[in-house]
Amino acid sequence: MTPLAPVSRAARLLLGIGFFVVFVAAWAAITYGGMVPPLFLASPGATLVAGWSLFTEFNFIGDIAITVFRVVCGFLIAAAIAVPVGLAMGAFKSVEAFLEPFVSFARYLPASAFIPLLILWAGVDEAQKLAVIFIGSVFQIIIMVAVIAAATRRDLVEAASTLGARSWGVVFRVIIPSAAPQVAETLRLVLGWAWTYVIVAELIGAQSGIGHMIMDSQRLLDTGQMIFGIVMIGLIGLVTDVLVKALNRRLFPWAVI
Amino acid sequence: MSDKTLHIQGVTRSFGDMLALQPVDLTVAPGEFVAVLGPSGCGKSTLLRIVAGLDRPTAGTVALDATPVTGPGPERGMVFQSYTLFPWLTVEQNIRFGLREAGRPEAEQREIAARFIARTGLTGFENHWPKQLSGGMQQRCALARALANDPEMLLLDEPFGALDHQTRELMQELLLEIWEADRKTVLFVTHDIDEAVFLASRVLVISARPGRIKAEVPVPLPYPRDWTVKTSPEFAALKARLMADIREEVRRSAEA
């Protein structure tokens, strides 16, 4: 193995799948081998059976749909506010001076700690779930977008101004397009975090969703269903990630190396 | 053809306690090609950036005819040593950047861009991204982008400094050809003596930091010039003279 030497596409794919195989094999070995009781950890087979019954008997598709809806909505609302604010902070030092201290403070507030308050304010319906995701995402996006925008290459800004661009021209035709690919990458990252917030929100005071299903399964001591729910979240995350990456490559062909 | 005169009067620049530029007085007539030659770190780029409006002088004034320079503007087009094409715009869109900023109609933008694409030998690369171009092509595109604005003067900050020797010579010839046709005022910063003598009608030697104009050497070689002029005795004599000036400054800046 040579340091930093690239590997072929086929090898990369094979290695990536390889670890999943190793992981499932280890899981199978300790469960079928009787090293842990099935009550603590269901076997891969039992998990699949539990998953099948979730889909056929318990309308799991409905849970998945409502959870995806919550993640996407909460995240989009957060992004719609955070991206412009972050860009403004990155582009204008006075805006940065005004907002940066507060945002830096606010982004350390754990979204889950707001759940009791949010239940008080917004009840246990959708608004509360979206609010948790919103609080968890919005400050992170603001800070990261601000850093990206502030790192705009100075020579490009100077080139634009010698070509006749004024303040708004520099913002809209240099800072924003130059930040766009990294902002898209940031959104992809934060979307992953949004999934952890939605599940936390659904563990407390929810009547639907993947998180609620996991809580229900715990009451019934059905570890198969619980594990299937967790694995499902991972799979949805993986698929979204691949899709968003492909979208970013299409949107920003100039940035692809 | 340019018709405005650049007036630089008593321009100095210090960064904190460090004096980068001693008072500089310079007048550049319309259509002149002036090379600013000096060792690295002598403040020649600082002077150019002040003329561009990207930097403010600590004292003194810069004016184009009677209009004082207070900031960057499209009438003073600039090409930088670093590659400054906008990576998210194609070659053609890069060249149209200034025209679009000026609110010119799209048909006119396209027509002007096509003309400069042809003049800088970029035909066939209109829709390429900058990262797909060689360094020489990127700088040709940057030159086309500055020229598309039809500026009063061109400010060139070691634009060919990052290119290999052969590409650099071709770029010098292209620039000379464009200048001979358009007669735009050019202020060209370089540390390359051959480049300065080959291109310029007047060479200013800048001293080691803090920079000042140490010598002013007219280059009487007639235009149009081509590469053969580089082997002429007149060229050699000018080069020898400038080399003596520059060597002394390089030594002084190495000791400083």
Structure token digits, residue A37: 């009781």
Q: Is A163–B71 a contact, with Cβ atoms under 8 angstroms apart?
A: no
Place of tokens 């409905």: A62
Distance from CA of B243 to the nearest CA of A (A): 31
Check CB contact under 8 Å for A162 and B77. yes
pLDDT at A257 over 70: no
The whole-number average pLDDT for the span A236-257 is: 88
Which residue does chain A place closest to B90, by CA atoms?
A254
Record the pTM.
0.89
pLDDT of residue A145: 97
Domain with residues A39-255, CATH architecture: Orthogonal Bundle (1.10)
Contact B84 A163 (CB under 8 A): no
pLDDT for the residue B208: 84
The ipTM (two decimal places) reads 0.92
The residue count of chain A comes to: 257
Q: Give the mean pLDDT of chain A.
A: 92
DSSP B201: S
How big is the CA angle at A54 (ends A51 and A55), to the nearest 5 degrees? Answer: 95
Domain at B6-255, CATH homologous superfamily: P-loop containing nucleotide triphosphate hydrolases (3.40.50.300)
Residue contact A163–B98, C-beta within 8 A: yes
Instruction: Please report, for chain A, the start and end positions of each structural domain, with discontinuous segments joined by +.
Output: 8-37, 39-255
Distance CA(A206)–CA(A215), nearest Å, equals: 10
Specify whether the CB–CB gap between B36 and B83 falls below 8 A: no
**Chain A residues within 8 A of B98 when measuring between CB atoms:** 163-165
Residue of chain A nearest B52, judged by CA positions: A162
> Is A160's CB within 8 Å of B76's CB?
no
Residues of A in contact with B154 (CB under 8 A): none
Interface of A with B (CB under 8 A): 155-156, 158-165, 169, 173-174, 177-178, 180, 252-255
pLDDT digits (tens, 9 = 90+) for B58-77: 999 999 998 999 999 999 99
Write the pLDDT tens digit of every residue in A164-198: 999 999 999 999 999 999 999 999 999 999 998 88
Domain chopping of chain B, boundaries: 6-255
Please work out, in degrees rounded to the nearest 5, the angle formed at the alpha carbon of residue A152 by the alpha carbons of A179 and B149: 100
- Mean pLDDT within B183-189: 95
Inter-chain touch A162–B130, beta carbons under 8 Å: no
Q: What integer pLDDT is reported at residue A165 of this predicted model?
A: 94
Residue of A nearest to B51 (CA): A162
Q: Do residues B153 and B2 touch, judged by C-beta distance below 8 A?
A: yes
Please state the rounded mean pLDDT for residues B103-115.
Answer: 95
Amino acid, res. A141: I
**Quick one: pLDDT at residue B241?**
92
Considering only CB atoms, which chain A residues are within 8 Å of B130?
Answer: 254
Q: How far is A177 from chain B (nearest CA, A)?
A: 7
Alpha carbon of B238: minimum distance to chain A alpha carbons (Å)? 33
How close, in Å, is residue B80 to chain A by CA atoms? 8
Which pairing describes strands B185-190 and B202-206: parallel, antiparallel, or unpaired? unpaired
- Residue A161: which of B72, B102, B129 has the nearest Cβ? B72
Q: Which of A159, A164, A255 sits opposite B80 (nearest CB)?
A: A159
| Structure tokens that stand for A31 in this block | 């469960």
Taking CA atoms, A183 is separated from A105, A144, A149, A177, B247, in Å, by 22, 8, 9, 10, 49
B195: CB partners within 8 A, 6+ apart: B35, B160, B168, B172
Between chain A and chain B, the number of residue pairs with CB atoms below 8 A apart is 72
Contact A76, A138 (CB under 8 A): no
**Contact yes or no for B73 and A164 at CB 8 A:** yes
Searching chain A, which residue's CA lies closest to the CA of residue B93?
A: A173
Q: Which residues of B touch A160 (CB under 8 A)?
A: 86, 97, 101
- B74 to chain A, closest Cα gap in Å: 4
The residue type at B74: P
Give the pLDDT score at B256: 63
Comparing CB atoms, the residue among B54, B74, B87 nearest residue A163 is B74
Q: For A64-73, how does the pLDDT look when each residue is reduced to its tens digit (9 = 90+)? A: 999 999 999 9
